[in-house]
Amino acid sequence: MSGWSIAEAARVLLAAEDAGTARGPITEEWPGLDVRTAYAVQDEALRLRLARGEKLIGLKLGLTSKAKQERMGVDRPVMAWLTDAMVLPAADPLPKLIHPRAEPEIVFVLGSRLAGPGVTAATAMAAVDRVYGGIEVIDSRYADFRFAAPDTIADNASSSVFRVGSVGVAPTGLDLTLEACLLEADGAIVDSATGAAVLGHPGEALALAANALAERGLALEEGWIVLTGGLTDAVPVSPGARVAAHFTSLGSVTLAG
């Protein structure tokens, strides 16, 4: 043991985020950092965020594809907190980040509280008020995006900022399995996917989040925003770059580096 603790890891990672500086993986210095402890670090960092005036507004999921899970050595998606400081207003460029990467997301806004256990995709979708397209910008505090699963969980799943589109659609009548997205970078289409890329249906990700939170005595609250996970691989966003996500039913979302 090298002096690491939940409080120290939260402090170090939040300081790295604030300063825009990268470091090596914490697991290399603290081998005892496991997934459960990493979520405790995440919760402590949230406490620090709230203490400085941020407001909790929702949850994000990551590693929602089996291929990404296998690369990271985990058997389920990871979750992390969203605060109001992470919302990127429509007219704003990206703030200065370490090594930002953008990925398109299907975004839910909850109309009612959703608490596990036993939540299914169908019951999860019944709690959704509106569905939006969005772009999340991930920005790991670890150099070269090199980390183990507990590292990224402790780092709030590489959160930085996100933008939600202006087109909100009621979930009834939407086939989110087939909802398509084209990812554009600097005028060229670089990737595409449908909602099926997120655990077969984004509602499955929402149900998983509710059931996983129930294990910690928590629930998804009315009005929360839920980012359901990247539809495609994330693309780097260099200064001056332009990234856009074009959805079948959910409009387009654009951001500039």
| 50-76 residue pLDDT tens | 999 999 999 999 988 766 666 666 677
Does residue 15 lie in a domain region?
yes
Does residue 1 lie in a domain region?
no
As a whole number of angstroms, the distance between CA 254 and CA 257 comes to 10
The residue behind tokens 């183990």 is: 148
The values of phi and psi at residue 95, to 5°, are -70, 170
Does residue 85 lie in a domain region?
yes
The values of phi and psi at residue 29, to 5°, are -105, -20
Which pLDDT does position 3 carry in this prediction? 87
The residue range of the domain holding 230 is 6-256
**How long, in residues, is the chain?**
257
Structure tokens that stand for 71 in this block: 């690369």
Q: Which residues of 143-174 are buried (b: 16+ CB within 10 A; e: fewer)?
A: eeeebbbbbbbbbbbbbbbbbbbeeebebeeb
Per-residue pLDDT tens digits for 69-124: 666 666 778 999 999 999 999 989 999 999 999 999 999 999 999 999 999 999 99
Residue 229's nearest CA partner among 53, 85, 64 is 64
Per-residue pLDDT tens digits for 174-212: 999 999 999 999 999 999 999 999 999 999 999 999 999
Structural domain count, the chain:
1
Does residue 207 lie in a domain region?
yes
Whichever domain contains 229, its CATH number is 3.90.850.10
